[in-house]
C-alpha cells in the first residue's frame, strides 16, 4: 500500500509523517491538510485528516464527513467496502475527511486547543477541495458531517454536485434539552454518552445488539475520548443553519439549498424529527426524503443494500453512469420512488411537507402501495404521473 503523507497550508506545503491505520482498502492514500480558522477574533490552525480512496484521475469525486463519536472508518467503511457499493467505488474517487483529532489512533489535541465550530469546519472545505484539485464533488455527510456540508453547500453551491445526508440536523440544541443532558451525563461514562447519542432506548431493544457492541469496542480501542468530547461539545453549541423555503420560485435557490439533495434516515433513528425539519425547508423539486424501516441511527450499516441502491439511483438522477448490481431479486421500488421524487412539484405549505407519505412493499418486492393522507385520492400502483416526494422503505 502506497501511503502519501502531505501537510499543506494556505501558502506552501511540507512533509509530515504519522502512523496510520488503513481500513478503507488497499488503494488509499492518507493526507493531513493544514487549515486556519477564526474563533473569538483569534486565528487558529489545525489539521484535517483526509483518506483518498480510489484513483484521483477519475472524472467524478465523492467527499465524506462523519458524525460525532465516529470517523471515516467507523462511519463509512462498512458501506463503501460493501458489494452493493462496488459500482460506485469503481467509478468515483472518494475523499474521506476526519474532523481534527477524530482519525484512528489520533494523538491528544494540545492543551488549550480551541475546537473549530461547525461553521469553521465548513469554511475549511474549500482548502481541501483546492489541495486535491476538486472543482466540485458529491458530498456525503452524516450527523455533524451533514451539518457541515449543508453549511458548505449554502456558501459554495457551485462546488456541490449533489448532497447526500443521513441523520441531519440544522437546528440548535434547546436550552432545556442541553441542561437535562448535562445533568444526566454527570454520572454517565463518556463512552455511554456517545452510544446514547447514536442509539435510542427502543433501538437497543429492537436492533441487533452486536452493532452497538461493535461501535463501543471501536470507540474504546481506536478513538481518543478527549478529542471526541471536544468535537461533541462544539456540535452541541452549533448555531442554526438559516434555510428558508421561499414561496417565490425566483428566490428559493437563494434562501435554501440549490443542489439536488437526498435525505436518508431510519424510522428508529433519534434524528427523525430533525430530518423532517430539514426536509420542510428545502426545495421540494430538488429534494428526496427516504425514511427506511428497521433502521436507526446507524442506517449506513443497518440498511447497506437500500442505502447503496438509493445512492446509485440518486447519482443516476444527476446524469452519472452507475449501474446497481443485481443480486437475485432486487427490491424494485427504490428507483420508482426516486424517479417520482425527482420531478414532483409540491404546492403544500411547510406543515404538509413534513408529513411522511408511506410507500411499502412486501418481502417479495411487490409494487408499493400508496397510503392516502387526509382524504387525498388513492394512488394507483401503475400510475407513473402522480408523484410523491417522500417515501418510507
Per-residue model confidence as pLDDT tens digits over 185-222: 666 788 888 888 888 776 656 555 788 888 888 998 99
What pLDDT is attached to residue 386? 29
Q: How far is CA 300 from CA 280, 340, 378, in A?
A: 23, 23, 32
Q: Is the pLDDT score of 360 beyond 60? A: no
Q: Is the pLDDT of residue 250 over 60?
A: yes
User: What is the predicted pLDDT for the residue at 205?
Assistant: 62
Confidence of residue 334 (pLDDT cuts 50, 70, 90): very low
Q: Residues 161-177: what's their mean pLDDT?
A: 85
**Looking at the DSSP assignment, which residues form a beta bridge with residue 95?**
52, 63
315: helix, strand or coil: helix
Out of 29-33, 160-164, 357-361, 373-377, pick the least confident.
357-361
The whole-angstrom separation of Cα 17 and Cα 23 is: 18
**HSE toward the beta carbon, residue 65, CA cutoff 13 A:** 28
Which residue did the predictor score with more confidence, 183 or 270? 270
Q: How distant, in Å, are the alpha carbons of 126, 313, 335, 338 from that of 367? A: 43, 17, 11, 14
Domains defined for the chain, CATH in brackets: 32-318 (3.40.50.1820)
- The yes-or-no verdict on residue 53 having pLDDT over 60 is yes
- How far is C-alpha 347 from the chain's CA centre? 28
Is residue 124 classed as helix, strand or coil in its secondary structure? helix
DSSP state of 319: T
Of 242 and 364, more confident: 242
Q: What is the pLDDT confidence band of residue 59, given thresholds at 50, 70 and 90?
A: confident
Query: According to the per-residue pLDDT averaged within each range, which of 38-47, 122-131, 244-253 is highest?
Result: 122-131
- Contact criterion met (CB below 8 Å) for 280 and 260: no
Percent of the chain past pLDDT 90, that is, above it, reads 57
Distance CA 147, CA 169 (A): 6
pLDDT class of 349 with cuts at 50, 70, 90: very low
Tell me how far CA of residue 190 lies from CA of 30, 123, 162, 196, 384, in angstroms. 29, 29, 35, 10, 50
pLDDT of residue 184: 56
- Note the pLDDT of residue 384: 31
As a whole number, mean pLDDT of residues 98-115 equals 95
For residue 196 the three cell numbers come to 446514547
Q: Does the pLDDT of residue 10 top 60, yes or no? A: no
Tell me how far apart the terminal alpha carbons of the chain are, to the nearest angstrom: 39
Closest residue by Cα to residue 122 from 69, 65, 199: 65
* Candidate from 157-161, 276-280, 317-321 with smallest mean pLDDT: 317-321
Radius of gyration, alpha carbons of the chain: 21
Label residue 40 left, alpha or beta by phi (over 0 means left) and psi (-120 to 50 means alpha). left
Query: Minimum mean pLDDT among 24-33, 242-251, 337-346: which range?
Result: 337-346
| Residue 123, pLDDT above cutoff 50 | yes
Which pLDDT band holds residue 376 (cuts at 50, 70, 90)?
very low
The three cell numbers locating residue 316: 443516476
Question: Residue 113: exposed, middle, or buried by beta-carbon count in 10 A (0-12, 13-18, 19+)?
Answer: middle
Predicted pLDDT at 78: 93
Query: Mean of the per-residue pLDDT values for the chain?
Result: 77
Amino acid at each position: 500500500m502506497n501511503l502519501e503523507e502531505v501537510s499543506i497550508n494556505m501558502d506552501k506545503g511540507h512533509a509530515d509523517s504519522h502512523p496510520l491505520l488503513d481500513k478503507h482498502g488497499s488503494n488509499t492514500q492518507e493526507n493531513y491538510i493544514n487549515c486556519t480558522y477564526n474563533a473569538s477574533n483569534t486565528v487558529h490552525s489545525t489539521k484535517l485528516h483526509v483518506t483518498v480512496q480510489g484513483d484521483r484521475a477519475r472524472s467524478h469525486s465523492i467527499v465524506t464527513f462523519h458524525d460525532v463519536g465516529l470517523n471515516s472508518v467507523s462511519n463509512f467503511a462498512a458501506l463503501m467496502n460493501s458489494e452493493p457499493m462496488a459500482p460506485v467505488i469503481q467509478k468515483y474517487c472518494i475523499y474521506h475527511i476526519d474532523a481534527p483529532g477524530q482519525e484512528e489512533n489520533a494523538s491528544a489535541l494540545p492543551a488549550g486547543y480551541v475546537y473549530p465550530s461547525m461553521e469553521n469546519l465548513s469554511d475549511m472545505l474549500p482548502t481541501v477541495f483546492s489541495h486535491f484539485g476538486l472543482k466540485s464533488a458529491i458530498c456525503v455527510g452524516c450527523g455533524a458531517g451533514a451539518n457541515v456540508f449543508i453549511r458548505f453547500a449554502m456558501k459554495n453551491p457551485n462546488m456541490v454536485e449533489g448532497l447526500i445526508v443521513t441523520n441531519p440536523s440544522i437546528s440548535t440544541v434547546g436550552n432545556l434539552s442541553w441542561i437535562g443532558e448535562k445533568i444526566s451525563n454527570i454520572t454517565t461514562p463518556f463512552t455511554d454518552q456517545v452510544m446514547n447519542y447514536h442509539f435510542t432506548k427502543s433501538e437497543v431493544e429492537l436492533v441487533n445488539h452486536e452493532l452497538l457492541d461493535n461501535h463501543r469496542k471501536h470507540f474504546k480501542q481506536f478513538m481518543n475520548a478527549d478529542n471526541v468530547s471536544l468535537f461533541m461539545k462544539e456540535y452541541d453549541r452549533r448555531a442554526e443553519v438559516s434555510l428558508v423555503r421561499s414561496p417565490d420560485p425566483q428566490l428559493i435557490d437563494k434562501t435554501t439549498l440549490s443542489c439536488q439533495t437526498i435525505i436518508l434516515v431510519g424510522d428508529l433513528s433519534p434524528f427523525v424529527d430533525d430530518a423532517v425539519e430539514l426536509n420542510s425547508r428545502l426545495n421540494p423539486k430538488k429534494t428526496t426524503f427516504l425514511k427506511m424501516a428497521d433502521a436507526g441511527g446507524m442506517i449506513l450499516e443497518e440498511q447497506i443494500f437500500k442505502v447503496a441502491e438509493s445512492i446509485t439511483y440518486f447519482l443516476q438522477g444527476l446524469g452519472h453512469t452507475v449501474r446497481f448490481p443485481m443480486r437475485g431479486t432486487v427490491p424494485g421500488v427504490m428507483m420508482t420512488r426516486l424517479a417520482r421524487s425527482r420531478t414532483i412539484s409540491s404546492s403544500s405549505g411547510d406543515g404538509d411537507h413534513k408529513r411522511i407519505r408511506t410507500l411499502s412493499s412486501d418481502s417479495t418486492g411487490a409494487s408499493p402501495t400508496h397510503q392516502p393522507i387526509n382524504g387525498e385520492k388513492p394512488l394507483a400502483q401503475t400510475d407513473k404521473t402522480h408523484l410523491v416526494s417522500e417515501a418510507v422503505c
